[in-house]
Structure 1
């Protein structure tokens, strides 16, 4: 069971396998624990907006951006666990996520099913909003309707894109043979439909149509979605929609479009260039350069617990020494970099912890927000896209790289790079900038690189069974879980799995 809280009402979704396989229909079994008019028979735009709030709550799920004890954080910390950024600590681990960390997951692995289900639960709620909002739209509240619909479209696009990153076999924009997933655009209670997976091309078309619709609607609304001042940006506004669009174009290899979208996302969202502003994004003492954050309030957990259990200082997954060390004088992130103290703290006897989500203010309870989209990422998307365009665009790419580093590193001296060296430097900077923010595994996947875990892998410090994942290995695409396929034989399995 999954729970969606809308104010004081509780809706229980018992998701069946066809939910995650749909092309046009959202197929679930719905059993309300309490009656809620906003779900089946809303009486006002206000109730529809309450359902939208419920869609945001689904991002906090333990297998989405949230985490449980040694599990979850599917799009927060799991991509770092799966990559070369973090290593499992033999003396600390609970082994809860070992199947994921050691790439031995298969079609019966429970965490794979949970990663599959969480975004579709979010999509289901967004589709309820889109089903009902027009019932109450008229000439006097059109701009309010735009604000609600625009967010729902952005949520739907983001959740579908997140699924594609794990379960897609490739990111080829125009492939009509590579399989993505189902793209659900309606909320329908039925178990009869057994649709098939879409091709990459069709899936991208729908992603870009949804985020394009979000951008159009959010450009003409009745009021600001996030407050003009404050410490957070918990709702998807126009800047966030452009940022999602930039991500999609980056994966698709639409370089010019990625440059334009990233530039639009950065409008009014400058880089944080002080320690207080940068660290404040993680402990909620400053808004910094947040474009969109997943908000965790007291009692709603947070993203950290897959990697670092703050209340007992258990440090199951630590930064690889190639990323950072306790001394702070070697690795990609060193102690002259504002990212170092924002991200890491010595934990226990001689170990470095990824402690960026330890709590808000001075608290150490693990209840921290997740900065899902921020300006540093947009600088690096624009830099990579310009570098891959080549020619005169490399000047702009190099400027973005140097500007980002100058905002982060004390005494930074600008470099002059071009061609492959520039692209590689931008890739290294993405690894520095976005460690623990859900990108590294996907970055390696989309650029078809080998994961080569570092010096501690396979030693007594981290007794992993396999330290290398080649670009042709099946594990880059997670399997379709057997529960899904048993319910819907039309859900074709990813290559290499039974």
Structure 2
């Protein structure tokens, strides 16, 4: 991956990694060591930790959780689904993705491919070098750095898999995943190939098992603040396991990992829920991508609060201005946390305001919640409903517990079979709205996208409205630039 590593990594992540805790003279001394000869090692454990910081900073890329280049893993999965509809306020920056007309030369797709591999490169430097500086005295520090790097490597690879794999089948030895890169190497002769789904899952699971083992014995609290959790701790690694096991259909393992994560991070009370989105209360956040002042945020492609542009609006089946219809209504704490009615060029409209700013600000600077406890309840509920023999009573208890924490006046339900699975899927739409899940949930469960509520009406939304479950567009094409330098990588069918 010559382009992914040599150009993206050196241009974006190394400089940011080295500026943390370095004076100007330090930067001048250190920069050639990394950029001109990337196979050279950091000189001490502090510099290894700086490279790890650079990996975290990579998640702010506009092609990852940030905005500006597609918000690939934050808002785009909702924009590409039936959760959000493009409006006439849109500048049409993302239409190739949200209308499903991408090709292998699409710059947005290329960015979504390159951004995770840049992060993986940093993680691999940490994993290559941390043991060189590990002693008996700093073993628990080394555990902290190595555990986070393993988790980051697994997470970034798995996000790539969600977009570029044609199938999520855990046991398939014929379906192709993406290259799983475990060494930092910018040599043009290194041309990794795609591996089978089975081999890919094996590697992700191995990395996460390693992360869990290490992060249970560290030198300090990884996320000590009450308002944010910007780094991956043991709860984060457990949450990653739960999500991977859900996609893999490993129901017993998903139940256990989600249970472990819930034990480490309980559900937020209603009074604390909204604070997760404006950095006033970490609540049930397990891991958030951190965007500090002047670093942007995840939501500008949907609602650009700085100039009040609502480019993508919630579908009517999600929420409405009067708060009395749709999946999210005004008796639900999530309604006010996610939406506001704000005057626009054609009158008032409901906007996605959950990322409009921290505290009372409206500058678009907000963190992105990569993992929350609400997702863990829904993973456990779905796994309990699908496992053989089924655990429908426990699944319903999870669903009721989550709803009790969110909806004022909620009365417990008792569902079984298909009705229970439908209820869990609908609750995922409520709970995880605009948090990067809907497109992948539909792909994972082989459902079609059918956009309703005005889709296709040029006076409301010019969007394309349906994507059959068998369409090639459920998997992105491997970018042309990647294939032009790596003859070992196979294109997805139909491109």
TM-score bracket for the superposition, by shorter chain length = over 0.9
| Greater mean deviation of Cα atoms: 478-487 or 463-472 | 463-472
Give the structure 2 partner of residue 186 of structure 1.
183
Give the structure 2 partner of residue 262 of structure 1.
258
CA distance in 2, matches of 1:437, 1:37: 34
CA deviation map 1:290-310 (0-9, x unaligned) = 000111001111001111111
* Structure 1 residue 189 displacement after superposition: 2.2
Give the structure 1 partner of residue 273 of structure 2.
278
Q: Secondary structure at the match of 1:3?
A: helix
* Structure 1 residue 9 displacement after superposition: 7.2
Give the structure 2 partner of residue 445 of structure 1.
443
CA distance in 2, matches of 1:303, 1:44: 34
Q: Secondary structure at the match of 1:172?
A: coil
TM-score, normalised by the number of residues in structure 2: 0.93
Q: Secondary structure at the match of 2:12?
A: strand
Give the structure 1 partner of residue 291 of structure 2.
296
The Cα RMSD (Å) is: 1.7
| Greater mean deviation of Cα atoms: 387-396 or 353-362 | 387-396
Give the structure 2 partner of residue 476 of structure 1.
474
Conserved 8 A contact 1:102-1:464: no
Q: Secondary structure at the match of 1:187?
A: coil
1:19-418 aligned at under 5 Å gives the runs: 34-36=31-33, 40-68=40-68, 71-90=69-88, 92-227=89-224, 229-274=225-270, 276-347=271-342, 348=344, 349-389=347-387, 391=389, 393-418=391-416
Conserved 8 A contact 1:144-1:222: yes
CA distance in 2, matches of 1:396, 1:120: 39
CA deviation map 1:246-280 (0-9, x unaligned) = 00000000001000000111123111121x31100
Q: Secondary structure at the match of 2:32?
A: coil
Q: 1:43–1:488: structure 2 CA closer, same or farther, 3 Å change rule?
A: closer
Give the structure 2 partner of residue 17 of structure 1.
none
* Structure 1 residue 37 displacement after superposition: 6.2
CA distance in 1, matches of 2:293, 2:411: 42
Q: 1:57–1:350: structure 2 CA closer, same or farther, 3 Å change rule?
A: same
Q: Which runs of 5+ in 1 are unaligned?
A: 12-31
CA distance in 1, matches of 2:285, 2:400: 20
Q: 1:484–1:288: structure 2 CA closer, same or farther, 3 Å change rule?
A: same
Give the ranges of 4+ consecutive aligned residues of structure 1 lying more than 4 Å apart after TM superposition: 36-39
Conserved 8 A contact 1:37-1:43: no
Conserved 8 A contact 1:344-1:353: yes
* Structure 1 residue 397 displacement after superposition: 0.4
Match of 1:490 among 481, 488, 491: 488
* Structure 1 residue 72 displacement after superposition: 2.0
Conserved 8 A contact 1:183-1:198: yes
TM-score, normalised by the number of residues in structure 1: 0.92
Conserved 8 A contact 1:358-1:366: yes
Paired positions, count: 472
CA distance in 1, matches of 2:311, 2:103: 22
Conserved 8 A contact 1:10-1:34: no
Conserved 8 A contact 2:20-2:50: no
Conserved 8 A contact 1:9-1:36: no
* Structure 1 residue 392 displacement after superposition: 5.4
Q: 1:305–1:157: structure 2 CA closer, same or farther, 3 Å change rule?
A: same
Q: 1:44–1:194: structure 2 CA closer, same or farther, 3 Å change rule?
A: closer
